[in-house]
Amino acid sequence: MALITTSAGVVHVDEWGSGEPLLLLHANPGDPQDFDAVVPALAEHYRVIRVSWPGYGAGPAPTPPQSASAMQFAELLVQLVLTMDLRGVRVIGNSVGGYAATWLGLCLPERLVATILVSPGGFARHTRWTRAFCRFMGNERVAGFMVRWLVYLYLLVKTPVVAAMRQRAASVHRDPVRVAVNAALWRSFVDPAHDLRDAARKMRVPTLILSGRFDPLVPVEYGYTALSCIPGAHHVVLPCGHASFAELPEVFLQVALPFLAQPPAVPVLAEE
Is 215 within a domain? yes
Is 23 within a domain? yes
Is 266 within a domain? no
Query: What does the pLDDT look like over 192-211, one tens digit per residue?
Result: 999 999 999 999 999 999 99
Cα–Cα distance measured from residue 141 to residue 58, given in angstroms and rounded to the nearest whole number: 23
Strand order in 112-118's β-sheet? 2-6, 9-16, 47-52, 21-25, 89-94, 112-118, 207-212, 234-238
Residue 197 near residue 227 (C-beta atoms within 8 A) = no
CATH label of the domain that carries residue 135: 3.40.50.1820
Query: What does the pLDDT look like over 213-270, one tens digit per residue?
Result: 999 999 999 999 999 999 999 999 999 999 999 999 999 999 999 999 999 988 776 5
Q: Determine the structural domain holding residue 236 and report its residue range.
A: 2-261
Confidence at residue 269, expressed as pLDDT on a 0 to 100 scale:
63
Please give the model's pTM, rounded to 2 decimal places.
0.95
- The total of structural domains in the chain comes to 1
- Specify the pairing of strand 2-6 against strand 21-25: unpaired
Is 272 within a domain? no
Query: What does the pLDDT look like over 139-176, one tens digit per residue?
Result: 999 999 998 899 999 999 999 999 999 999 888 888 99
Is 98 within a domain? yes
Is 119 within a domain? yes
